Chain A
Amino acid sequence: MAKLQSVEERLVGLADIVVEAARRKRDPEIQIPVRALSNVRFNEKKGIIEMGDATQARTFFNLGMAKKFMQTMLVADALAELQRADCTTSLREIYYRTKHTLRDSTENTFDDQDESDPIIEDLEVTLGALREELHVAAEGRGSIVGNVVLVDDGDVVDCSRAGKSGHTVPSIVEEPDIRIRKCGADFILLIEKATQFNRLSEDKFWKRHNCILITGNGQPPRGVRRLCRRLHDEWKKPVYVLVDNDPWGYYIYSVVKQGSINLAFESERMAIPDAKFLGLSSFDPERHGLPRNVGIKLKDSDVTRAKEILEYPWFRKQEWQKEIRHMLASGLKYELDALANRDFRYLTTDYLPRKLRDRDWLD
C-alpha cells in the first residue's frame, strides 16, 4: 500500500481487495501485520521496539475469521465516513456506529466494544495510519502542570496557572491542535498515579524544582506519551518516570522508553529512549527505611510477569536484571503510596530531592 495515498484512499483500497477477489472468484484476504511479541524486535541502536514484517491473512470464507472480516469492512466503512465528514470521534462511538443486527437474525455485528477496538488497531497497522489520522481519539485521561505554555486549539494555556489539578492532556497532541509555545522547566516528571501527582502539585514541587508534572493515571495514554516525547524532542528536556515498584510499573516505564509490543509501529514517534526510571526501585525500601510490612506479597501472576520482563531484550542491562531479581527475591512489591508510612510529605521533601541529588535512577 503506497504511503502516498490519503487515509481515505487507503480505506477504499480495502473495498477494492474484496471486489477484485470476487471478480476472480477468490477468497478475499487482507494482510494484517502481527501485533505480538513474536513480531517485534528491539532496535538497540535506536533504543526502541520496532515491528517486524510478519503478517497474518484475514480471509472471508473461513468460519473462524468470517465475522472478523465482516467487522473489519464495517469499521473501515465507518472510518471512511469520518474522513469524509472531517470529524473526530472515540473508540466507543465507532463501536456504536457499526453495531446493528444481521439481517433476519438476532445476531449483532458486534457484541461489545472489545470486539471493535482491536479491529481499529488492526487497521492502524495495516494502513500505516496513525490513530489521529484516522480521526479516532482515545479518552483524554492525563494531566499536566508546570512551567510550560501550550496553545490548545487556539487557546493559550499556561500550565503553571492551571490550578492544582492542572490542564487536561488531550488525546491528540499533534500540531496544529497543540503547539508548545514556551517551556521553561528543567525536566519532566511522569508519574503513574494521580495520588502522587496531586501530592506533588499541592506541595508545588514543580515550582521548587522547576519541572513539569504529568500523569496518565496508570498506563499513560498516547496523548501523554506523545506530549512527553515532543517536550523531550523539541525542548530537550529530560524525562523521569515515577511508578509503583511492581512488574506493571516496570512495564509502564518500558512503554514510555522503548514503546509497546501491541503498538510497536508507533514507537518511532512515541518512545523516549532517554527516559530514566526514578523509582520506586526494589532497593528503595531499604534505602528509605520502609518497613517490610508496608510491602505487598507478590501474586503468582506478578512473579510470572516479572520473569517475562526479565527476558525482554530491552531489560537485559545488568542493573535492570539486578533490580528485578531483587524484587523477586524479596517476594514483595511496594506502592508509591507506601512512602506515606514515613511521612505524608516524604515524597516531596525527602524521596524525590534525594533521588535527584544522588542521580539515583536507572536507565
Chain B
Amino acid sequence: MGAALHRKRESRPDLREVPDATVHQVTAEDLAKRQREISVSEFFAKNRHLLGFDSPRKALLTTVKEAVDNALDACEEARILPEVEVRIEVAPNGGSRPPASQADRFIVTVADNGPGIVPDQIGRIFAKLLYGSKFHRLRMSRGQQGIGISAAGLYGQLTTGKPVRVISRTGEKKPARYYEVQIDTARNEPRLLVNREHAWDRPHGTQVSIELEGRYQKGRTSVDEYLEQTAVANPHARIVYVNPEGQRTVFERSVGELPPPPREIKPHPYGIELGVLLKMMQDTKSHWLSGFLTSDFSRVSPKVAAEICQRAGLEPTAKPRTIVGEAAERLYRAIQQTKIMNPPTDCLSPIGEKAILAGLYRQIKGDFYTAVTRAPAVYRGNPFVVEVGLAYGSGQAAVAESAVEKEEAVPVAEGEKTEGETPLARVLRFANRVPLLYQPGACCITKAVLETSWRNYGIPQSRGALPQGPLVIFVHMASVWVPFTSESKEAIADYDEIRREIRLALNEAGRRLSAFIRRREHARLEFKRRNIFEAYIQEVAAACRRLKRGRLDEERLRRQLQEIAHRLTGGQKTDALVKGTNETSPPVESTIIVTPEGPRGAVPPPPPAGGGDPAAGAPGKPEERSDGEAAERRGKAGRPR
C-alpha cells in the first residue's frame, strides 16, 4: 500500500501537464468531463458499511438476516405458517474445508415454504438494488427499502465473484426452477446466467444461496443469537438452523396461528415532508386539490380538506400539479396547523402478549415472565405499537435450593467472594419482529431502558447503567414505518413519542416483576433467617460447651435456642412462606411464574409437533413429548417436571 501511494504521488505532476503546461486553471469544461453518473450498485460497492457489511463477521449476519426477513415476510403475506431453514456451510477452498472458526468463506442458504417467485421477477429481486414491493406503501413489514437481499448478493459477488443461486417454485403443479443471477454494477441491472428446471422437494417456496467472505463466531451479535432472538419474536415460525460446524438447532413453533395480516394505509398528512408532498402532487390522479387531499391521505375528510385549503389560501379546485414554490410551502404549513385525526391503527400487527410470553418462555430460562402490549400510538403521523416482555430469574426455582448449595459446597477462601459482580440485564431489541443486534447505544429502546428507574422494581441499577441481575428485557416496536438511524437498520431513532411509549410499557411490566420479586425476596429472606439461626445455634452451643469444658448439655441448649429462634422468626407463618406456594398470590394476567411444582399462569399450550405439513400446525399433540422438549431446550441441567 505504501508503494502504491508513492507511485500515485509521483504520477500526479504528469497528469497536470497533459492539457497545457502553461495553463494552471482547470476550466468548467474540464470539470464537466469528469462528471458522470454513479450507479447505486457502484455506490454500494464503495460504501458497504452503510448497509451492514462493514466487517466479515457482520456481513455473514447481515446476509442471513436479509434472507430470513424476506422469507418470513413472503410467508406471512401469503398467509402460510413459516418454515425457514438456515444453513451455513464453509465454502470449499481448493478441495479442503478449513474449520468453521478459521474459515473466511461461507455459503449461506435460506429456504422457505413461501409462495415462491415468478421467473420474471427473480433477477430484479435478487440482483437489482432498490427494487422492492415494500417501499412504496405504508404497511408493516420487515423489509422496507428493497436493498437487503440484493445488497447481500452484491456483497457476495464482490468478495467471491460467485453469482446468487436461487431455487423457486410457485406451486405444486409447476416445476421448480434453478437460477443463477449476477448484478451489473455499472447499470444496476440484473444478469440472468442460468435459468433451468430443477428437481426440488418443497411444494412451493424459495431458496437462496449466497457465497461470501465472512467470519463465523459465536456469542454476542452472532448469527446464532440473531436466530434465537428471531424465534423469540416470531413464535409462529419454525426455524431450523444448521451452523457451519454441522450442528442442527430447531426452534419449534410455540404459537400455531399466524399473526393477523397488517393492512396497508395511506400516509398521514403529519408525517409527510415538503419534498414528498410536492412529488405526490405531481403524481396524483386527482384533478382538484381537495380531491388529492382526501384520496391520497388517510384521515382527511372533505371538511378537513376545505379547512386546509382555506388556511393555505388556495382554491379547493386548484390543480395539484400547479401548486409549487411558495404556494406549496403555504399548503405544507397549513397541513401542520390543521387538527387532523390520528391515523388508523388497525394496520399494525403486534406480536401480542400471549405470543411474546410463549417465545420468551420457550427460549429463555427464568422463573418469571411477563408481557405488555401497549395501545397503538402515533409519531409524525405514523402509527406504532410498543411491546415489552421481561424474563427474570436463573430458572432454578424448580431445583431444590439445598441441592444447589450442596453441589458447590467448597469452602470459600479469603478474598474469593465475588459479590456485587452481578451481570447486567440483556436487552433484546426488535423492530417489526426483526432483532436489532448492533448499535445498542444509539437506539431509542436502550435509552428508554436506561432511563427507567429499575430500583423502584427491586432491581439494582447503577447510575446511567443497565439494571443488574438475571433479567432479559424484550422490547418490540411495530410500525408501518420504523424510523431507523441508518440504512443498515440497527437502531431505532429517538423520537420522544416512541421513547415515552416504551417507558410506559416497561413501567407496567416492571410493576408486575416488582410484585414477584418482593414476594419471593420475602420468602427467601425468611428462609435464610431461619437457616442462619440454625447454623449459628450449632456454633454458639458448641462454643459454650467447650468454654464450660464439656460440663454442659449441648443438645438441650441447642433445643432451647431453637425454640427461641422459632418464636422470634415468625413461626408457622414463615413455615408456610418458606415451604409452600399455596400462600403466594394468584398470577397476574400475561404472566408466568415458575415454581418448584411447575409453571403457573399464562403458560403457552404445548407447541404443535415440528416438521411435517406446516398447514397442520394446530395444537393438540401429545402433551408430554413437547413438554420434555421444552425442558431440554431451556436448560441443559433439565428441570424436574
Q: Do A and B come from one complex?
A: yes
Residue ranges of A at the interface with B (Cβ–Cβ < 8 Å): 11-12, 14-16, 18-19, 22-23, 25-27, 60-61, 63, 66-67, 69-70, 73-74, 76-77, 80-81, 100-109, 111-112
Bound-complex Cα distance A81 to B547 (A): 8
| Interface membership of B99, Cβ < 8 A | no
Smallest Cβ-Cβ distance to B532: which chain A residue: A66
Interface residues of B in 400-415 (CB under 8 A from A): 402, 405-406, 408-412, 414-415
**With a CB–CB cut-off of 8 A, which chain B residues contact A67?**
532, 536
**With a CB–CB cut-off of 8 A, which chain A residues contact B533?**
61, 66
**With a CB–CB cut-off of 8 A, which chain B residues contact A80?**
546-547
Label chain B's interface by main secondary structure: helix
Bound-complex Cα distance A16 to B568 (A): 22
Knowing A18-B557, A103-B535, A105-B409 are in contact, say whether A70-B563 is a contact too (CB < 8 A). Answer: no
The residue that A15 contacts in the complex, of B531, B552, B560, B563, with Cβ under 8 A, is: B552
Q: Are A109 and B539 neighbours in the complex by a CB distance under 8 Å?
A: yes
| Interface membership of B578, Cβ < 8 A | no
Q: Are A14 and B547 neighbours in the complex by a CB distance under 8 Å?
A: yes
Chain A nearest Cβ from B220, distance in angstroms: 31
The residue that B560 contacts in the complex, of A22, A101, A112, with Cβ under 8 A, is: A22
8 closest A-B pairs by CB: A15-B547, A22-B560, A15-B544, A73-B543, A102-B535, A77-B543, A70-B536, A61-B568
Number of B interface residues in the complex (CB < 8 A): 35
Knowing A27-B564, A61-B564, A61-B568 are in contact, say whether A102-B538 is a contact too (CB < 8 A). Answer: yes
Q: Are A102 and B539 neighbours in the complex by a CB distance under 8 Å?
A: yes
Smallest Cβ-Cβ distance to B545: which chain A residue: A15
**With a CB–CB cut-off of 8 A, which chain A residues contact B557?**
18-19, 22
Q: Are A60 and B540 neighbours in the complex by a CB distance under 8 Å?
A: yes
Given A25-B563, A63-B529, A73-B539, 6 more A-B residue pairs with CB atoms under 8 Å apart are A15-B548, A61-B533, A61-B565, A104-B405, A107-B535, A111-B412
Q: Are B560 and A23 neighbours in the complex by a CB distance under 8 Å?
A: yes
Q: Are A76 and B543 neighbours in the complex by a CB distance under 8 Å?
A: yes
Smallest Cβ-Cβ distance to A22: which chain B residue: B560
| Interface membership of B33, Cβ < 8 A | no
Interface residues of B in 534-573 (CB under 8 A from A): 535-536, 538-540, 543-544, 546-548, 552, 557, 560-561, 563-565, 567-569
Bound-complex Cα distance A25 to B566 (A): 11
**With a CB–CB cut-off of 8 A, which chain A residues contact B535?**
102-105, 107
| Interface membership of B417, Cβ < 8 A | yes
Chain A nearest Cβ from B179, distance in angstroms: 63
Q: Are B547 and A12 neighbours in the complex by a CB distance under 8 Å?
A: yes
**With a CB–CB cut-off of 8 A, which chain B residues contact A106?**
405, 408-412
From A74, A106, A111, name the one whose CB has the most chain B CB atoms within 10 angstroms.
A106
From A15, A16, A104, A112, name the one whose CB has the most chain B CB atoms within 10 angstroms.
A15
**With a CB–CB cut-off of 8 A, which chain B residues contact A107?**
412, 535
Interface residues of B in 488-540 (CB under 8 A from A): 529, 531-533, 535-536, 538-540
**With a CB–CB cut-off of 8 A, which chain A residues contact B544?**
15, 18-19, 73
**With a CB–CB cut-off of 8 A, which chain A residues contact B564?**
22, 25-27, 61
In the assembled complex, 11 residue pairs joining A and B whose CB atoms fall closer than 8 Å, in A order, are: A18-B540, A19-B544, A22-B561, A66-B532, A73-B540, A73-B547, A74-B543, A76-B543, A80-B547, A106-B405, A106-B408
Bound-complex Cα distance A156 to B426 (A): 71
Bound-complex Cα distance A27 to B567 (A): 11
**With a CB–CB cut-off of 8 A, which chain B residues contact A101?**
409, 411-412
**With a CB–CB cut-off of 8 A, which chain A residues contact B415?**
112
From B408, B415, B557, B563, name the one whose CB has the most chain A CB atoms within 10 angstroms.
B557
Smallest Cβ-Cβ distance to A81: which chain B residue: B546
From A11, A18, A76, A108, name the one whose CB has the most chain B CB atoms within 10 angstroms.
A18
Chain A nearest Cβ from B528, distance in angstroms: 9
Smallest Cβ-Cβ distance to B536: which chain A residue: A70
Knowing A19-B544, A73-B543 are in contact, say whether A27-B568 is a contact too (CB < 8 A). Answer: yes
Q: Are B546 and A77 neighbours in the complex by a CB distance under 8 Å?
A: yes
Smallest Cβ-Cβ distance to B415: which chain A residue: A112
Chain A nearest Cβ from B41, distance in angstroms: 62
Bound-complex Cα distance A210 to B405 (A): 67
Q: Are A15 and B568 neighbours in the complex by a CB distance under 8 Å?
A: no
Bound-complex Cα distance A104 to B409 (A): 8
Bound-complex Cα distance A149 to B116 (A): 106
From A12, A22, A111, name the one whose CB has the most chain B CB atoms within 10 angstroms.
A22
From B412, B557, B564, name the one whose CB has the most chain A CB atoms within 10 angstroms.
B564
Bound-complex Cα distance A22 to B555 (A): 12
Smallest Cβ-Cβ distance to B560: which chain A residue: A22
**With a CB–CB cut-off of 8 A, which chain B residues contact A105?**
405, 409, 531, 535
Proximity string of chain B (359-395) to chain A, C-beta cutoff 8 Å, 1 when within and 0 when not = 0000000000000000000000000000000000000
Bound-complex Cα distance A27 to B565 (A): 9
**With a CB–CB cut-off of 8 A, which chain A residues contact B411?**
100-101, 106, 108
Q: Are A69 and B547 neighbours in the complex by a CB distance under 8 Å?
A: no
**With a CB–CB cut-off of 8 A, which chain A residues contact B536?**
60, 66-67, 69-70, 102
